[in-house]
Amino acid sequence: MKYFDFVQKLDAQTRFLGLITTLLAGAVFVLTVTILLLYSKKTVVVLPPKVEKEFWISGNSLSTSYLEQIAYYIADRVLSVSPQNVDQSLDMIKPFFSTDPDDVRGLEDTFTKVSGTVRENDYYQVFYPTRFYVNRKKMKLVVEGILRKMSGGQYLGEERKVVEISFFVRNGRFFIKALKLS
């Protein structure tokens, strides 16, 4: 008799531990699915070098205010330069460069042209943005503004400039694909 009671007790314990194991495995599965869902919809706040407006970044979506701030920053770094600071100014936006070698080559050519012109003519210039456009379908940012040039305290003139930035977003990070000045 004692033998059968012992076997029944072991059988009950086995069923109980099996139930507990199944419940724990289910809880691990539910937590894993929850974490994956939360991870894929995470919102990361990334600060541009100068924050003027509230913005958001979620996955591969960027708010218009973020795109505006980053476009103004890039246009300022490229066009508001002097012979003394042109290299440092352009180096500040290199972290936004695409990792594609062809894109980097095109951006480097644009920057070489800008820095060569500023050094060759020995003037400094200041860009005053007036308008901002975003085309999400073509992934382009356009900043229009006035570029004023001066040399040795003498005003050389001003012209309308347009900075067109082709971009893409990967994992919430903004990358410059191409930059066109006109």
What pLDDT, on a 0 to 100 scale, did the predictor assign at position 96? Answer: 87
Does some domain include residue 88?
yes
Does some domain include residue 20?
no
What pLDDT, on a 0 to 100 scale, did the predictor assign at position 45? Answer: 47
Does some domain include residue 28?
no
What pLDDT, on a 0 to 100 scale, did the predictor assign at position 42? Answer: 57
Please report, for the domain that includes residue 155, its CATH number.
Answer: 3.10.450.230
Q: What are residue 122's phi and psi, to 5 degrees?
A: 50, 55
Does some domain include residue 157?
yes
**Which pLDDT tens digits describe the chain residue by residue (182 residues)?**
677 788 888 888 999 999 999 999 999 999 999 888 877 765 554 555 666 777 777 778 888 888 998 999 999 999 999 999 998 988 888 888 888 889 989 999 998 998 999 999 889 999 999 999 999 999 999 999 999 999 888 899 999 999 999 999 888 888 999 999 99
Structural domain boundaries, residue 108? 61-181
Does some domain include residue 25?
no
Does some domain include residue 118?
yes
CA-wise closest residue to 127 among 150, 108, 106, 111: 150
Between CA 119 and CA 85 the distance in angstroms is 10
What pLDDT, on a 0 to 100 scale, did the predictor assign at position 32? Answer: 92
Does some domain include residue 53?
no
What pLDDT, on a 0 to 100 scale, did the predictor assign at position 9? Answer: 87
Question: How far is the CA of 33 from the CAs of 22, 37, 171, in angstroms?
Answer: 17, 6, 20
Does some domain include residue 45?
no
For the chain, what is the domain count?
Answer: 1
